Amino acid sequence: MGTNPKGYSTHGGIHAEFETVYVSRNITATDFANMVHPPERLADPFSNYIQYLRRSNELVEKVYELDKAGAFRDAGSHEAFEFVAQRLAAGSQMVVDMWYTAWLNSAY
């Protein structure tokens, strides 16, 4: 909607292309496992999760930049691989920390 001064794609499948197709063809859990550290208790799970969402939202334009450059097509680019692996690690870390925090908090 609106202007598109940078000429980014307007097709509706960009999200699925980088999160599903690209990942299933190019990335395995071992590619980002070393980026996930042992779980940590979150001091304020809701606030921590909102922070995670905001950080993810800040990276939306990067997805469009990579898509425009063709970085998610076929085997993709090294930059796309690093970006997606980092995002998978960040999401995994958030889930691990949320589960761990819930487990710790349930004991009291």
pLDDT by residue (tens digit) across 23-82?
A: 999 999 999 999 999 999 999 999 999 999 999 999 999 999 999 999 998 888 999 999
User: What residues does each domain of the chain span?
Assistant: 14-106
Predicted pLDDT at 73: 87
Nearest residue to 69 (alpha-carbon basis) of 57, 56, 55, 83:
83
- d(CA 75, CA 72) in angstroms, rounded, equals 7
pTM of the model: 0.90
